[in-house]
Chain A
């Protein structure tokens, strides 16, 4: 489904943040990407989102080279991916409902569909009662749940969660991981970057360990080891 073929990224100042990465992520997998700060996890995620282009190598989604997509093709590709960020990145002047609905509106979904799906998904993340609250009226954990609701609303093929629990307390961390696990159980591929040993060890799924821009370990059912 997702292929990294000898991907390297070097900035103009000579810093090499990804070094000859080759890996495959299959449909339905839940993959944790771990590593120290600066190991290259976020750059790897940015490659998937086409926020960054590789200096060498190819990143493909199915048979498409992500970095050659332009205009409508890029928009269509991004609609197949749901993203959850560490800092939530909700639109501050939209309510929880509107933030989630925005992703559906952007995808051109009908008003009826939006009216029925958004409350349903907010209910799944246990936020139905706060759907008309603005982000600043919600706690960190609640904001992250809105972000997850926004990420899954268009039934994407992949969910990318970049340090989704980085700003949360243990209780909210547990909730978020359970939601991501549930999403994966329903068949969606989930790629999770984290520093949290507990999460990785409890999941007991595939773990990719990165160090200095390289993949140093790729374990089918791994644990957090550095």
Chain B
């Protein structure tokens, strides 16, 4: 008996979906817009997070050594820094490498290169580029490098300068931006989801409002609440399936286009590749979100008219 009931509900839902094409199309349209907003937001967050990681990776504390510092002294400092829990990586740039890097950076600037040649000897000292596990930990690392901490011991005479204090403001600003965007991002997502829910709920409520007299007749001919609600739920689920497919199909060329336009701007991030890599999770999430939203909306909307 249950199987027969489900079959009838399923068929009635399919028929309703096909026959009430105008209502179905408008509901699908609204739901597609909602799912597109959510997908855009998801991709925007991904791009933002990626860019932030790139920016974070460019921040470091650089320890410059005097030109007469020995490699032994430098390696000793490196080993001590590696022992700190806040340090993620340390890159050693030798004097020769520093000279090469400078030349490469100024290869079109003959005046600067000539001035360098006139100096005769290599004016650059070696340096250690220290990357912290978290941007908020640079200050702690800088304090460890402070003379009073005793970490450097006798090697402190080999150090020319530490650039943390020059970039401190930039690091603080970056930390503030990260904190701010996380908070704003969280509340924005909540706001977007709530707004989307309200839009979809109202669309489905309007669609079901059209059927209020029919629902009353169904009750009067002895249909149970489940038998009345069922087809509306099936229709709502079909809306979410179609809207998810349309959203995913629209974002396929859209992400290709956006990638072409922004691949340099976003530090080399390929949005389309990211989209394709996450399309399975994304489609499942959109489908579940859309189905839950439309089902709950239609159940709430129909409930009002079942009180006959």
Task: List chain A positions with a Cβ less than 8 A from chain B.
Answer: 49, 51, 72, 75-76, 78-79, 83, 89-94, 102-103, 105-108, 110-111, 150, 154
Q: What is the distance, in angstroms, from B12's C-beta to the closest C-beta of chain A?
A: 8
Q: What is the distance, in angstroms, from B15's C-beta to the closest C-beta of chain A?
A: 8
- Asked if A83 and B19 make an inter-chain contact with CB atoms under 8 angstroms apart, the answer reads no
Residues in A neighbouring B4, C-beta threshold 8 A: 108, 110-111
Interface residues on B, range: 20 to 34
- Asked if A154 and B222 make an inter-chain contact with CB atoms under 8 angstroms apart, the answer reads yes
List B residues 278-308 near A (Cβ within 8 Å): 308
- Asked if B308 and A51 make an inter-chain contact with CB atoms under 8 angstroms apart, the answer reads yes
- Asked if A83 and B214 make an inter-chain contact with CB atoms under 8 angstroms apart, the answer reads no
Q: How far is the CA of A93 from the CA of B16 in the complex (A)?
A: 7
- B133 in the interface (beta carbon within 8 A): no
Residues in B neighbouring A102, C-beta threshold 8 A: 218, 221, 223
- B75 in the interface (beta carbon within 8 A): no
Task: List chain B positions with a Cβ less than 8 A from chain A.
Answer: 1, 4-5, 8, 15-16, 19-20, 213-214, 217-224, 227, 308
Q: How far is the CA of A22 from the CA of B214 in the complex (A)?
A: 32
Q: What is the distance, in angstroms, from B223's C-beta to the closest C-beta of chain A?
A: 4
**Best-surrounded residue of B19, B222, B223, B224 (most CB of chain A within 10 A):** B222
Chain A residue with Cβ nearest B213:
A89
- Asked if A107 and B218 make an inter-chain contact with CB atoms under 8 angstroms apart, the answer reads no
23 contacts across the A-B interface (CB closer than 8 A): A49-B220, A51-B220, A51-B308, A72-B224, A76-B222, A78-B220, A78-B222, A83-B221, A91-B218, A92-B214, A93-B19, A94-B15, A102-B218, A102-B223, A103-B222, A105-B8, A105-B227, A106-B218, A106-B222, A106-B223, A106-B227, A110-B4, A154-B222
- Asked if A106 and B224 make an inter-chain contact with CB atoms under 8 angstroms apart, the answer reads yes
Q: How far is the CA of A15 from the CA of B8 in the complex (A)?
A: 44
- When A51-B308, A105-B8, A108-B1 are in contact, do A91 and B224 touch as well, CB less than 8 Å? no
Residues in B neighbouring A91, C-beta threshold 8 A: 214, 217-218
Chain A residue with Cβ nearest B19:
A93
Chain B residue with Cβ nearest A107:
B222
Q: With A49-B220, A91-B218 given, can you name 19 additional A-B contacts, CB distance below 8 Å? A: A72-B224, A75-B224, A76-B222, A78-B219, A83-B220, A91-B214, A92-B214, A93-B16, A93-B19, A93-B20, A102-B221, A105-B8, A105-B227, A106-B222, A106-B223, A106-B224, A107-B222, A108-B4, A150-B221
